[in-house]
Amino acid sequence: MAMKASLHTRIVAVAALSMGFSLISSAFSFYYVKVFLNYYQIKESWFQFSQTLFLVWNAINDPLFAYCQDSTNFRCSRTRRESVLYAAPLFALSFIVPWFPWGNPDTLQPWVTGIHLITALCFWDTMYTYVGLAGCCLFTEMTDDNTERLKMVKYNQIGYLLGSSSIFVLQYMSDQLENFQVFQVTSICVAVVSCLLMMYCGKHAHTERELQYENDVQCGKPKIIKSQEYSYFTLTKQILFNRDFLAFVTVNFFQEFHRTFVSNFFAVIADQLIVKGAIPPIVRSLFYGASSTGPKLVVIFGTGIVGRFGYYKVIRYSQIFMIAYGLIYYMTGPINHWCVMFFMLIDSCLADSVFSLFNLPLSDIADNDLARYTRRHPVTSMVYGMNALVVKPAISLSPMLVVSILNSYGYDRLKDGKLGATNVSSLNTAMFNLLCLFPFIIGCVQFCSWSFYTIREKKTIDITLLVGTGEDSL
């Protein structure tokens, strides 16, 4: 029973990481595009250039940090929890950087704002990657029991749910970004709370392997140094050419593309399609907050369904549903403001809630890799790093594509008040078409790719444990 309580405590520590991570990551994704486009008035050329450099840095840092965490014995990378502990303050700092312009936005040279965005994105992604990789590996290496892993999904979503409240807090305190100074002060408070939560995880989230290592040291067994029997390029080839991995990362790439579109342009599109005065301000704030909290509630109350049917079928059915509602709403057209809000919430909830399950197939892929190559220790970070190598370019490609499309319909002129009524109507139609066609097209591609994923065996899961009773409950 003591061991069970110990595992529960460590799972709660990982949930604290999820909450701290979500506090700043959800707010960063929600605000940075809007702040740089509308408040700093960044030029499209600099925005596209920044996203291109961001894409390149994304492609480089994930596998490098992954190999570093799997193969080095520095204090900041010796264990997964220590990686979180020492990187937490820098991660929190990277969240604050975008919200403080390098001068008066009205008089700054375009290149200054461009360099500011490049610095903010690269600094943010460096820390996001380092902490995120460690957190994902904690999920996989905390336990290899699928029941406990699904329980961790539930607890993590509770953490993400609490963390996503940062959007509502920032919206409310800043009067929907109208009072930017209050937004800046509130963002600092959010960063401090996030840092403390992540450091708590860094103190308490011991993995089974780490506990076993500590027991071996106490028993006088020789110290085992972390090393790799394969070179970096051999490891990369072994992971990238796995059929299940290729099928999964294709699905994940388009899922990230969809999620980035929803998170970055939710407020931009909603502000345009749902004009001011159409709904009360408090309803609008709740609507924006629900775009982040809704997916977490779906996962928290839906873990039983995942346990009953398995993640493969749940992901498959979600793809069918996404194809259906995208096509249906495109055919019916925008009926009224409430229907637009309802559709946007469904799309946001499905995109994020399904993505929350993706650590389960990645963990299975990492487990299979460990057994297939009889490794001395797992290369979990490399599996997640290779996944990020393929997937994270979508974070840059999505806003680049959407900004290009919107500006072709005059969005850049709309911000200056130079767009006529006819062109505004065309811009609104383009935004609505993006809302409908993105899920339809992406769902079709994902449906085809997911058919090649072979780890489909339904594992027996005790659903009663997912509810949490007695000492296992929060």
Mapped onto helix, strand or coil, the DSSP state of residue 223 is: coil
- Domain ranges across the chain: 2-205+231-458
2-205+231-458: what fold?
Growth Hormone; Chain: A; (1.20.1250)
Q: Cα–Cα distance between 205 and 136 in angstroms, integer?
A: 12
Q: What mean pLDDT is predicted for residues 52-78?
A: 78
The least confident of 27-31, 49-53, 298-302, 469-473 is 469-473
Q: What mean pLDDT is predicted for residues 8-25?
A: 90
State phi, psi for 466 to the nearest 5 degrees: -70, -25
336: Cβ contacts below 8 Å, ≥ 6 apart: none
The least confident of 211-220, 224-233, 281-290, 341-350 is 211-220
- What local confidence, expressed as pLDDT, does residue 116 receive? 93
Distance linking the first and last C-alpha atoms of the chain: 17
Asked whether residue 466 carries a pLDDT value surpassing 60, the answer given is no
What share of the chain in percent tops pLDDT 70? 89
Q: Cα–Cα distance between 18 and 38 in angstroms, integer?
A: 30
Average pLDDT, the chain: 83
Q: What mean pLDDT is predicted for residues 318-331?
A: 93
- What local confidence, expressed as pLDDT, does residue 472 receive? 32
- What local confidence, expressed as pLDDT, does residue 219 receive? 53
User: Could you identify the residue written with the tokens 């994923």?
Assistant: 453
pLDDT confidence of 459, banded at 50, 70, 90?
very low
Asked whether residue 190 carries a pLDDT value surpassing 80, the answer given is yes
- What local confidence, expressed as pLDDT, does residue 386 receive? 87
Q: What are the distances in angstroms from CA 255 to CA 32, 145, 418, 450?
A: 20, 26, 35, 12
pLDDT confidence of 72, banded at 50, 70, 90?
low
Other CB atoms within 10 Å distance of the CB of residue 237: 12
Instruction: Return the top range by mean pLDDT from 53-57, 254-258, 263-267, 290-294.
Output: 254-258
pLDDT confidence of 303, banded at 50, 70, 90?
confident
- Measured CA angle at 178 (ends 336, 344), to 5 deg: 30
Q: What are the distances in angstroms from CA 198 to CA 15, 20, 381, 467?
A: 9, 6, 19, 25
- What local confidence, expressed as pLDDT, does residue 284 receive? 83
Task: Find out whether 375 and 368 touch, Cβ atoms under 8 Å.
Answer: no
CA nearest 359: which of 163, 71, 205, 141? 141
- What local confidence, expressed as pLDDT, does residue 215 receive? 53
The least confident of 115-119, 211-215, 266-270 is 211-215
- What local confidence, expressed as pLDDT, does residue 184 receive? 93
Q: What's the DSSP call for residue 468?
A: -
Q: What is the 3-state secondary structure (H, E, C) of 113-182?
A: HHHHHHHHHHHHHHHHHHHHHHHHHHHHHHCCCHHHHHHHHHHHHHHHHHHCHHHHHHHHHCCCCCCHHH
Asked whether residue 316 carries a pLDDT value surpassing 90, the answer given is yes
Q: Give the model confidence (pLDDT) of 194-214 as tens digits.
A: 999 999 998 888 776 666 555
Predicted TM-score (pTM) of this structure: 0.72
Which string of DSSP letters, residue by residue, matches 174-205?
TTTTTSHHHHHHHHHHHHHHHHHHHHHHHHH-
Q: Give the model confidence (pLDDT) of 348-396 as tens digits.
A: 999 988 998 898 898 889 888 878 877 776 778 788 888 888 888 898 8
Task: Find out whether 52 and 403 touch, Cβ atoms under 8 Å.
Answer: no
